[in-house]
Structure 1
């Protein structure tokens, strides 16, 4: 017996093999379908997808073989990876100098005939082979060789998909880690800023009350600007926290409640002090979903419809349609509308339409991004339509719990 040589690029090959993450994993149907088809086409009792590790060959998929692995020194596939561009076919191993006295040829079901197609990754590294084995001398036909090569290409596709999936998992893990760090950072910074801002607001009120008579008009205005800016910054921080905490809402945390009753509670909470007309659904249907999340969504959307309405008389229509698997909600106002070119990015964090609200302040571009996250967490989607000067309409769905 002649032990197989070690490829010159062994170090790089092993790095590629480990990056696949396939060694010592469970059997998978996608690989097993290929080995079963290979055995059937080649009319052999054994078919294997092998991976040549540092000191062993391990079988990712096997048909007709009880062993899970063998030593690399006795491996036929370790010979096959030395000729990456061609099939290694051994008609009779007992007559081949490389395999005479090989332990695999002396088993109860010996490896006598072997044909293996090297399996490569996209970077050209050979991982192992797709091979077929017989317990007696044999030879593949031209058609069988072509079919085995084709099946090997499918195994290589599975390798490629595995690498892509591994990269996506790593990216997802990295994004999750960074998002957690960002959330923690936002929470820490926001907490540290809220108290000084509260002190600024309180101090400006005290100064204004105590020293109004000693200050001229400009001085009083400056104190007003100080309080207004502090309140704006406080609202901004509150919105940032709400955005990062929106993922905490779970669609499975469901409650039963009447939709119109919820809307009436929200309108009372908003404490609207100017003319505003609401049109609720004619039928007060019962919902079962996460009410806290739905409250947050409607508070934001109704609040926007009120704040950015340029009409003397604000009109808001709210409706709901029950479907088989979800509820579809809509809220439409008679406000100023949104420019068509700004609709596409309206849910992007920190993106704004650029309009001032009724108090002459510009939005921070956080609320609608938070709404979109909440809707997605509830298993739904959200869209917007608008005609400038006439209306804006938001339509979103929530999966039934």
Structure 2
């Protein structure tokens, strides 16, 4: 008997074996189906999916034997992974000097062997898909082709497993970073809001005692106050954005459409220059996340008011009740959005219009929050606009059952 040689790239090959996290795992149906099929096609009593580990041959799937592993130095597969051929066939192990007196030949009567190496994308041979028989024999061309094809299928399952682990790992990293950002947003909000409030208060006190201040100083105080308010809005927006997913829970509410719109109007419309038009005669009960949907509408209504350049702001709201989803339209007669900017308005920090009707800069957070909330709600949003005339948002929300 000759023990299988160690490949020159053994360190890298072993790392490739371990990256799939298959060693010492339990049997799985997907792999057992393959060994069952290939055993039938090749008319072989034993079929295996093996991984050649440091000092053993681990059997990920097996048909016809009860072993879960065997020593590497007596394994047929150890020879197969160093072979230059794409399939290693041993017609009669008793006549092959590599396997004479091999315990597998004596104990399991492993007389015939055919194994196809499992080769990863980097060319490392991890193990084999193989069949054994208790008598000398050959394989037909059809059986050889099937064995090679099934070996590729095994590697596809390995790669799919690896990609799943990678996606889970990246997902965990993203979650950790998002949690860190949420914590950071909360800390920043807490630590900055207090000094900003102090700045606003001191600015107001100084302006009240303006007798000793020059007109230029008073102007500077106004700029300081406006900048402080802008920073405060920015902080509030960031906190809202990173806490948006907390608004969406697994519990759904029965929400009166009329009450929802009226509540949003009361929070966003402050004077008679804004008119909200909707049809309240036939109320509809929406089954959805009430707080999240309310926040979405508050953002859209607020933008419609802030970015209106008309003496009379009109906001038209239409609800379409489909069989499987709600479709909600919010259309305003404001400044509109330039065609080259409309595809970017839901990106965080992207500002489609430099200033609102009061000359205040936007934060680029509100619409990003809307899109984020809808993503958590498995909904979507579309936008269309004509510059200088109107903008319309269409919200699509799947119906839920309570």
Q: Is the 8 A contact 1:243 1:370 kept in 2?
A: yes
Q: Over aligned residues, Cα RMSD in angstroms?
A: 1.8
Residue segments in structure 2 that go unaligned for 5+ positions in a row? none
Q: Which runs of 4+ in 1 moved over 4 A?
A: none
Alpha-carbon shift at residue 271 of structure 1 (Å)? 4.5
Alpha-carbon shift at residue 354 of structure 1 (Å)? 2.5
Q: For residues 183-234 of structure 1, what are the alpha-carbon distances to aligned partners after superposition, in whole Å with 9 as ceiling and x for unaligned?
A: 222222222111110100111111111x222223222222111111111100
1:160-239 residue pairs with structure 2 within 5 A?
A: 160-209=159-208, 211-239=209-237
1:243-254 residue pairs with structure 2 within 5 A?
A: 243-254=241-252
Q: Separation in 2 of the partners of 1:152 and 1:230?
A: 66
| 1:54 corresponds to | 54
* 1:158 correspondence with 2:157: yes
Alpha-carbon shift at residue 84 of structure 1 (Å)? 4.6
Q: Is the 8 A contact 2:337 2:353 kept in 1?
A: no
Q: Separation in 2 of the partners of 1:270 and 1:103?
A: 83
Q: Separation in 2 of the partners of 1:97 and 1:16?
A: 30
| 2:238 corresponds to | 240
Q: Is the 8 A contact 2:53 2:72 kept in 1?
A: yes
Q: Separation in 1 of the partners of 2:125 and 2:303?
A: 59
The structure-2 alpha-carbon separation of the partners of 1:68 and 1:39, relative to structure 1 and needing over 3 Å to count, comes to same
Question: Is the partner of 1:344 in helix, strand or coil?
Answer: helix
Q: For residues 264-284 of structure 1, what are the alpha-carbon distances to aligned partners after superposition, in whole Å with 9 as ceiling and x for unaligned?
A: 012112241241111224531
The structure-2 alpha-carbon separation of the partners of 1:330 and 1:25, relative to structure 1 and needing over 3 Å to count, comes to farther
TM-score (norm 2): 0.94
Alpha-carbon shift at residue 180 of structure 1 (Å)? 2.2
Q: For residues 349-397 of structure 1, what are the alpha-carbon distances to aligned partners after superposition, in whole Å with 9 as ceiling and x for unaligned?
A: 0001124212111211011111101001111111111111221111122
| 1:79 corresponds to | 79
| 1:67 corresponds to | 67
Q: Separation in 2 of the partners of 1:121 and 1:253?
A: 45
| 2:8 corresponds to | 8
Q: Is the 8 A contact 2:109 2:134 kept in 1?
A: yes
Q: Separation in 1 of the partners of 2:390 and 2:260?
A: 24
Q: Is the 8 A contact 1:84 1:118 kept in 2?
A: no
The more displaced of 368-377 and 87-96 is 87-96
Question: Is the partner of 1:340 in helix, strand or coil?
Answer: coil
The more displaced of 25-34 and 374-383 is 25-34
Q: Separation in 1 of the partners of 2:385 and 2:104?
A: 74
| 1:133 corresponds to | 132
Alpha-carbon shift at residue 33 of structure 1 (Å)? 3.3
Q: Separation in 2 of the partners of 1:70 and 1:207?
A: 86
| 1:323 corresponds to | 322
| 2:378 corresponds to | 379
Alpha-carbon shift at residue 90 of structure 1 (Å)? 1.4
Alpha-carbon shift at residue 123 of structure 1 (Å)? 0.9
Query: Which of 269, 272, 294 lines up with 2:270 in the alignment?
Result: 272
Q: Separation in 2 of the partners of 1:324 and 1:196?
A: 51
TM-score (norm 1): 0.94
Q: Separation in 2 of the partners of 1:296 and 1:16?
A: 49
The more displaced of 89-98 and 340-349 is 89-98
Q: Separation in 2 of the partners of 1:193 and 1:251?
A: 29
The more displaced of 384-393 and 33-42 is 33-42
Q: Is the 8 A contact 2:268 2:301 kept in 1?
A: no
The more displaced of 97-106 and 305-314 is 97-106
Task: Figure out how many residues of one structure are paired with residues of the other and give that number.
Answer: 399
Question: Is the partner of 1:213 in helix, strand or coil?
Answer: helix
Residue segments in structure 1 that go unaligned for 5+ positions in a row? none
Q: Separation in 2 of the partners of 1:314 and 1:242?
A: 26
Q: For residues 295-347 of structure 1, what are the alpha-carbon distances to aligned partners after superposition, in whole Å with 9 as ceiling and x for unaligned?
A: 11010011001110111111111122233333222211111211111011110
Alpha-carbon shift at residue 251 of structure 1 (Å)? 4.2
The more displaced of 367-376 and 248-257 is 248-257
1:326-341 residue pairs with structure 2 within 5 A?
A: 326-341=325-340
The more displaced of 169-178 and 193-202 is 169-178
Q: Separation in 2 of the partners of 1:252 and 1:241?
A: 22
The more displaced of 174-183 and 39-48 is 174-183
Question: Is the partner of 2:383 in helix, strand or coil?
Answer: strand
Q: For residues 104-138 of structure 1, what are the alpha-carbon distances to aligned partners after superposition, in whole Å with 9 as ceiling and x for unaligned?
A: 2234x532211000111111111000111222222
